[in-house]
Amino acid sequence: MATILLLGSGELGKEFTIAAQRVGQTIIAVDSYAGAPAMQVADGNEVINMLDGASLDALVEKYQPDYIVPEIEAIRTERFYTYEEQGYTVVPSAKAANYTMNRKAIRDLAAKELGLKTAAYEYANSVETLRAAVQRIGTPCVVKPLMSSSGKGQSTIHSEADIETAWTYSQSGSRGDVAEVIVEAFISFEYEITLLTVTQKNGPTLFCPPIGHRQEDGDYRESWQPAPMESHHLKTAQEMAAAVTKALGGAGIWGVEFFVGENGVYFSELSPRPHDTGMVTLAGTQNLNEFELHLRAILGWPIPAITQERIGASAVVLASEHSDQPKVTGIETIASEAKSDFRIFGKPSAQPQRRMGVVVTYDSLSEDLVSVTERAKELASKLKVES
């Protein structure tokens, strides 16, 4: 069986670890702090600064893993090319991990090389260049650090007065040592989706039913599956997802995000790993959840098809204050509810707006998706994170 070096050990990594161990794989969970969620269920764990190339090299040499699986952005990803040259398998590929950890690389690939429709955009590396970019793009516009996750450092500029605050906030949320930001024209969209896309070693590219989601402050709050979507827009999104994943190469699951409006489908972002909005698949909405799909694709096991089994929704549980010993209360109330489930991530500390758990709800394919989503939100509100 394979040894997998998991770089990043959050809640997504924890579910991936569980999926891997169910079929006999060995997981070494790595993160920048002790007691991260995936470490609690892994076969071994390491605490290092993954932006330190020498520390990363030493870890790879120590374990000589069959697969190197990144789960976060803050990694010295250029080292992945060297690992591939040495014979290691980086998931999905060194190119994919390197490009998608930086919004500049993936946006230029999508827009300039592949010709995918995206929002108009520019880059800035200071308050002055940000101001100039905003003048050219126009307001409102969105500012995002080139390296960040879960909406950190992201804000919307409505007027000249917002520019300096947006720059400062972007730097506070940036990961790694990249100070640059992307400035995007604001798209008037009707809805946004995540299209989980599975590339296989020896099989066709597969698509999960689209997942709708609501974001707040750049981070997801609820998701639902299958998202109602016009068939021609879905076809366009699938074609875009297939093109960009093919260009990046490798096998695994990808979370490809799109905006959909009256002017069609716009490519937004891409993650080469399980996606947070995809936690809705833990509700049994598909024959295989996103973590099982990722694992099977990595190992080269065939995936004949992805089928929708029932409708479902997810809603996150957020902390509201700092705590070194957080406790989630209200679990008994949730456990008594039919057609629902929950995950408590087990993070060792909490701070305001940190994701600490998720509630999932489900029903048969003939039932109302809006009601299932509202039920997930209601149940999530009953779980409280306390000190």
Q: Residue 166 is part of a domain; what is its CATH number?
A: 3.30.1490.20
**Of 170, 245, 277, 373, which is the active-site residue?**
277
pLDDT averaged over the chain? 95
Answer whether residue 3 shows pLDDT above 90: yes
Is 269 among the residues known to form the active site?
A: yes
Residues 258 and 306 in one domain: yes
Q: What does 288-346 look like in DSSP terms, one character per residue?
A: S-HHHHHHHHHHT-------B-SEEEEEEEE--S-BSS-EEE-HHHHHTSTTEEEEE--
Answer whether residue 108 shows pLDDT above 90: yes
**Of 219, 269, 337, 386, which is the active-site residue?**
269
Answer whether residue 177 shows pLDDT above 70: no
Q: For residues 322 and 175, which has the higher predicted lDDT (pLDDT)?
A: 322
Q: pTM of the prediction?
A: 0.93
Q: Is residue 330 part of a domain?
A: yes
Which pLDDT score, from 0 to 100, does residue 365 have? 97
Residues 75 and 126 in one domain: no
Answer whether residue 131 shows pLDDT above 70: yes
Is 355 among the residues known to form the active site?
A: yes
**Of 184, 222, 276, 363, which is the active-site residue?**
276
Is 277 among the residues known to form the active site?
A: yes
Is 175 among the residues known to form the active site?
A: no
Region 198-225: mean pLDDT is: 94
In Å, the largest CA–CA distance within the chain is 57
Q: Is residue 110 part of a domain?
A: no
> Residue 204: which residues within 8 A CB-CB, separation 6 or more?
none
Q: Is residue 102 part of a domain?
A: no
Overall number of domains in the chain: 3
Tokens of 191: 């809805």
Tell me the sheet residues that pair with 102. none
* Burial tier of 116 (Cβ tally within 10 Å: 0-12, 13-18, 19+): buried
**For residue 268, which of 158, 204, 185, 180 has the smallest C-alpha distance?**
185
Helices and strands of the chain, counted as H and E runs = 11, 20
Is 129 among the residues known to form the active site?
A: no
Residues 209 and 175 in one domain: no
Q: Is residue 104 part of a domain?
A: no
Residues of the domain holding 154: 120-185
Residues 195 and 328 in one domain: yes
Q: Is residue 30 part of a domain?
A: yes
Q: Which of 168, 185, 202 is the last residue of a domain?
A: 185
